[in-house]
Amino acid sequence: MKAFTYLFGIVHGLMAFLFACAALMLITIAARMGWVAFGGGLDRAAAQTIIEAVGLLAAAVVALQIAETIFEEEVVRSADISAPTRVRRFLSRFFVVIVVALAIEGLVATFRALHEDPAQLPYAASILIAVGTLLAAWGLFVHLNRSAEELEPEAMADAKREDQKLK
């Protein structure tokens, strides 16, 4: 069984590395887009390109945060995601990044629709409505999970001890 656990750690480490590589590639592409837009003149097309580069940077943040979370939770801590505290902390790390990235994408889609095709505005609005729904659902989850955490104070103590591995 320890061999499987070790193998899963290697696979998780590889996944974290690939997510980090994807983030670096997206950052490079966004920087190149921004540089080309800046060199091409300061007009509406350049602004649109910069806005799209910001969307790529948001995706890069998501990929980098996923890499960090996978590495910390699965490789460094070898955490067991069964206690309410660990579940809340694990999911919260993802939700923060996802909600922010989707909000940025919604804004990018809104700007693009306003300047290129106003018929696309309902789709951009649906992204922003979904962001609000995710944010509300996340808040409800945290609220409901807090009462479960109070029933298992030892899980919080275990999570805090695992945090010491990162210091």
Model confidence, pTM:
0.72
How many angstroms separate the CA atoms of 47 and 65, rounded? 27
- What confidence category does residue 60 fall into, taking pLDDT thresholds of 50, 70 and 90? very high
Q: What is the pLDDT of residues 101-158, one digit of tens each?
A: 889 889 888 988 888 889 999 999 999 999 999 999 989 988 888 776 676 666 666 6
Distance CA 71, CA 165 (A): 12
- pLDDT digit string, tens, across residues 11-27: 999 999 999 999 999 99
Q: Token pair of 42, please?
A: 């300061």
- Looking at residues 52-57, what average pLDDT do you find? 90
Q: Are 89 and 159 in contact (CB under 8 A)?
A: yes
For residue 155, the model assigns a pLDDT of 60
| Burial class for 94, CB neighbours closer than 10 Å (0-12, 13-18, 19+) | middle
Question: Which helix H or strand E contains 125, and what residues bound it?
Answer: helix 121-151
pLDDT tens by residue, 63-98: 998 899 888 877 887 655 556 677 777 778 778 888
**Residue 95 vs residue 29, higher pLDDT:** 29
**What would the DSSP string read from start to end of 1-27?**
-HHHHHHHHHHHHHHHHHHHHHHHHHH
